[in-house]
A and B are shown apart, each in its own frame.
Chain A
Amino acid sequence: MALAAEYEVAGWAEAVETYFERGWTDGLPVVPATADAVRRFLDAAGRAPGEVVLTEPTRRRSITAEKIAINAVLAGCRPEYMPVLLAALDAMADPAFTLHGAITSTGGSATLVVVNGPIRPRLGFNAGGNVFGPGWRANATIGRAIRLVTLNCLGAQPGLLDRSTQGHPGKYSYCIAELEEENPWEPLHVDRGLPRGASAVTVFAAEGPHNVLSHYGETADAIIVALADTMACLGSFSPGQSFVVLAPEHVRILARDGWTKPRLREALYAGARRTRADLKRGGKLEGAVAPADEAAWVHRGGGPEDIHLVVAGGGAGGHSAFIPSWSRERNSLAVTREIR
Chain B
Amino acid sequence: MTLKILDPTVSADEAAAVAVAKRVTDLDGKVLGLLHNGKVNGERLLEHVREQLAARYRLRDVVIVRKASASRVADDADLDRLARECDAVVTAIGD
Binding site for B on A (CB under 8 A): 2, 4-12, 14-15, 18-19, 24, 32-35, 38, 57-63, 67, 70-71, 74, 98, 100-102, 105-106, 148, 152-155, 327, 329, 331-332
Contacts and interface: CB of A to CB of B under 8 A. Distances in A.
Contacts of B16: 60, 62
B72 to A, nearest CB: 5
Q: Top 4 A-B pairs ranked by shortest CB distance?
A: A101-B71, A331-B71, A5-B7, A153-B10
B80 to A, nearest CB: 17
Contacts of A32: 3, 5
A9 B69 CA distance: 47
B21 interface: no
Interface in B49-76: 69-73
B4 A6 contact: yes
A327 B6 contact: no
B20 interface: no
B10 A9 contact: no
A6 B5 contact: yes
B1 interface: yes
Interface of B: 1-10, 12, 14-16, 18, 69-73, 95
A97 to B, nearest CB: 11
A34 B3 contact: yes
Contacts, number: 96
A63 B10 CA distance: 7
A59 B3 contact: no
A34 B4 contact: yes
B15 A9 contact: no
A59 B10 CA distance: 12
A58 B73 CA distance: 7
Contacts of A33: 5-6, 8
A74 B71 contact: no
A152 B10 contact: yes
B4 A61 contact: no
Contacts of A102: 71
Given A62-B14, A106-B95, A155-B12, A4 B71 contact: no
Contacts of A10: 2-3
Nearest to A329: B69
Contact of B8 (A35, A101, A148): A148
A335 B50 CA distance: 41
19 contacts: A5-B6, A7-B4, A7-B6, A8-B3, A9-B3, A9-B5, A15-B3, A15-B5, A33-B6, A35-B4, A38-B6, A57-B73, A62-B10, A67-B9, A74-B8, A106-B95, A154-B10, A329-B71, A331-B69
